[in-house]
Structure 1
Amino acid sequence: MTDTTHPAQNPQLPDYDVLVVGGGAAGLSGALMLARARRSVAVVDAGEPRNAPADGVHGLLARDGMPPGELLARGREEVRRYGGTVLSGEAVAVAGAAPGFTVTLADGTTLRARRLLVTTGLVDELPDVPGLREHWGRDLVHCPYCHGWEVRDRAVGVLATGPMSVHQALLFRQWTDDVVLFGHGGPEPTAAETEQLTARGIRIVPGKVTAVETTGGGGVAGLRLADGTVVPREVLAVAPRMVARGALLAALGLTAEQHPSRMGEFIPSEQGGRTAVPGVWVAGNITDLSAQVGGAAAAGALAGAMINADLVTEETAAAVAALRGR
């Protein structure tokens, strides 16, 4: 039988079996899986979810349209229901190695754990266009599967920022027949891509975008080009450069790498989230840049199960050694 004694009752054990850094869908799902496996688990949440500006989470079965804050609040309650701990704070330093990691929070609190699950997500780096960021998550979107239905039949402008911009414009064409691709100094479409865009009725507007024009109500009215021309648009779409929030892991020898898609930087991991550092797992957008909420939650749950299995293996080996030593 697995030893479920709380670590506080045994000073030779770390404070927790598992410490989860990041309280989004991936982190909470991993913690839920571990708590249900009777593991002592704590989640450290800095309170900076990537989807905070969005009105609702979409494409998530049985929870479509639920505000992100409500979804996370329910998740925290579920983790606590099974004895898990959820702490508000920012992890600023990590040290040690399995089975004895130490994580320090910004307020000086120190936590110890046998295993780490890091689910800190990513940062979206947007083009440096005045007025753009203010519309992020509302009139400025990036994922047609997350927001396409909400902007259907509206005039969409896609800013070419990287290798995925043509693909993004073609995808948004599924939800509206009024799509314009703004060159903005991004990669020039190839001859084949230009043919595809033309065939789908997507206009290509060359030139640098210098500003976002707004309506009286604060919505998007259009994009101003360097020559002063304003192209009317109601919704903007951009493929931001996505960078994993993985600086914390550098002290353990894990650094972000360029993603094969060239969409940004990620922390590599095996299937199930195991990293190259023993005892450290990752899940969600920190390792899968394109994961939506449902995918991140599933990855977190799988990582939680894998961590529990790893701990069972360790504990079984210790029990066998103890038996032989009798």
Structure 2
Amino acid sequence: MSETNQRYDVVVIGGGAAGLSGALALFRARRSVLVIDSGSPRNAPASHVHNYLGREGTPPSELLAAGRAEVLGYGAGIERGEVVTAEKLADGFRVVREDGSAVEARRLLVTTGLVDELPAVEGLAARWGREVLHCPYCHGWEVRDQAVGILAVSPMAVHQALLWRQWSDDVVLFRHEQPDFGDEEYEQLAARGIAVVDGEVAALEVGDDRLTGVRLAGGTVIPRRAVVVQPRFTARSAVLDGLGLVPTELVVGDHVVGSYIAADPSGATDVPGVWVAGNVANLMEQVVGAAAAGLKAASMINMDLVTDDTNRAVAARRTPFSAEAERQVTERVLGDRRHGLQETR
């Protein structure tokens, strides 16, 4: 393993909205910060970011580029790499990348996001983020008044159909492989004019690089311009395994919706010194919420470091006098002064 003597106040693992927001706040708090980013943001397939006040409609790549520029402008470091593990040290953590290189940090902020695991339906993954959608608040406006299909893959299917009905009066619910709905659910769907189609969905139909319909196993094609599906949201949390932080399953009814790393409202985990923010901790967080979570976690990390700095200073002050201690203080003070004189020359 290639080692390094580099040590930071905080290493941020993940360079999305949460990670960059946290890094910006921490560097503005005069902390030494390194962001390590794998370069695989969750929202890369999407064409635009929505519901982010002041940034509405910005392409995800542009938003991240602007965020990186702001962080780099303050002097924080951003490096590309895949972190494979984090290890606890006596005084902080060691973060190890896939190439074997390692850095140390007093605190960690993990903002690695999640992976959207889609059902195995032909054509679904290829259209993900384009006409295959999951969040009406993110994409509903863009497909308003169009023919929308809901692919039932969880007990939330009826809820999804009723929700998306807000954006279009042409909504079809494909029952696919889900159990039959109850009488009350059918009544709700009928009252809202939502048709239910029985039978397994085999594939999506595409023409001229545009979704045109949903093909059933029997060959029937139902014209649709957008398809809604509920992915399984799986936290990208393998880096935390070595610290004993394992994902918690989010269960709705008897169905596992996804997994996340449990934390308190500030993002603090059960491992002292480790915070999480964004989708790795909150599966439903949108971009603006992830950025806010990164900021909140950063403020708490800085306060934790302030407390640690103070405790260390108090302990040093109480240390009995010795010639060696005096020499170290003198060298530090004179060194700081020399550094200041050099900067002003």
Q: Calculate the TM-score normalised by the size of structure 1.
A: 0.93
Name the structure 2 match of 1:79: 71
Q: CA deviation at 1:187?
A: 4.5
| Secondary structure of residue in 1 paired with 2:203 | strand
2:221 match: 230
- Find 1:164's aligned residue among 137, 144, 156: 156
Q: Which one has a bigger Cα radius of gyration?
A: 2
2:49 and 2:85 map into 1 onto residues whose CA distance is: 31
Q: Which moved more, 1:74-83 or 1:175-184?
A: 74-83
**Equivalent position of 2:341 in the other structure:** none
Instruction: Give a deviation string over 1:238-290, Cα, whole Å, max 9, x none.
Output: 11110000111111101111114442111111111000111111000001000
- In the alignment, which of 144, 164, 170 is matched to residue 152 of structure 1? 144
Q: Percent identity?
A: 58
* Match for residue 184 of structure 1 among 176, 180, 195: 176
Bigger shift: 118-127 or 95-104?
95-104
Match of 1:210 in 2: 202
Of residues 164, 173, 191 in structure 1, which corresponds to 2:165?
A: 173
- Work out the CA distance in 2 between the residues paired with 1:165 and 1:99: 48
Which stretches in structure 2 are left out of the alignment for 5+ residues? Answer: 321-345
> How big is each residue's C-alpha offset from its partner over 1:289-321, in whole Å with a ceiling of 9 and x where there is no partner?
000000011001100111011111111111112
CA contact (8 A) 1:160 1:187 kept: no
TM-score between both structures, scaled by the size of structure 2: 0.88
Is residue 278 from structure 1 mapped to residue 272 from structure 2 by the alignment?
Answer: yes
CA distance in 2, matches of 1:251, 1:138: 36
C-alpha distance in structure 1 between counterparts of 2:16 and 2:90, whole Å: 24
Aligned to 2:236: 245
| CA RMSD in angstroms, aligned pairs only | 1.4
User: Is 1:299 the equivalent of 2:293?
Assistant: yes
Aligned AA (2:237): G
C-alpha separation in 2, matches of 1:160 and 1:98: 50
| One-letter amino acid of the structure 1 residue matched with residue 34 of structure 2 | A
Match of 1:314 among 278, 298, 308: 308
Preserved CA contact (<8 Å) 1:97 1:279: no
Change (3 A) 1:120 1:98: farther
Instruction: Pick closer, same or farther for the CA change 1:325–1:249 going to 2, 3 Å.
Output: same
Structure-1 separation of matches of 2:24 and 2:32: 11
Q: SS of the counterpart of 2:242?
A: helix
Verify the 8 A CA contact 2:85 2:238 in the aligned structure 1. no
Query: Is the 1:98–1:279 Cα contact (8 Å) retained in structure 2?
Result: no
CA distance in 1, matches of 2:23, 2:62: 18
In structure 2, give the amino acid aligned to 1:47: G
2:245 to 254, 257, 260: 254
Tell me the SS of whatever aligns to 1:19: strand
- 1:66 corresponds in structure 2 to 58
In structure 2, the residue corresponding to 1:263 is in which secondary structure? strand
> 1:28 matched to which residue of 2?
20
Query: Aligned partners of 1:258, 1:55: CA distance in 2, in Å?
Result: 30
Q: What is the DSSP-based 3-state SS (H/G/I as helix, E as strand, rest coil) of the residue aligned with 1:271?
A: coil
Deviation string, structure 1 residues 91-150 (Cα, Å, up to 9, x no partner):
112112463211111222211101111100000010100111110000111100000110
Aligned counterparts of 1:24 and 1:163: Cα–Cα separation in 2: 31
Unaligned runs of 5+ in 1: 1-7
Instruction: Return the match for 1:138 from 113, 130, 135.
Output: 130
- The CA distance in 1 between the partners of 2:126 and 2:30, in whole Å, is 44
In structure 2, C-alpha distance between the alignment counterparts of 1:130 and 1:186, rounded to whole Å: 18
* d(CA) in 2 for partners of 1:114, 1:295: 26
Q: Which runs of 4+ in 1 moved over 6 A?
A: none
Contact map agreement 1:162 1:187 (CA 8 A) in 2: no
Q: Distance in 2 between matches of 1:166 and 1:113?
A: 47
Match of 1:4 in 2: none
Is the 8 Å Cα contact of residues 97 and 278 (structure 1) preserved in structure 2?
A: no
Whether contact under 8 Å (2:85, 2:241) holds in the other structure is no
CA contact (8 A) 1:98 1:115 kept: no
Matched letter for residue 244 of structure 1: A
Residue deviations 1:42-73, cap 9 Å, x none? Answer: 11010100110111100100000001001001
Distance 1:102 1:324 in 2: 30
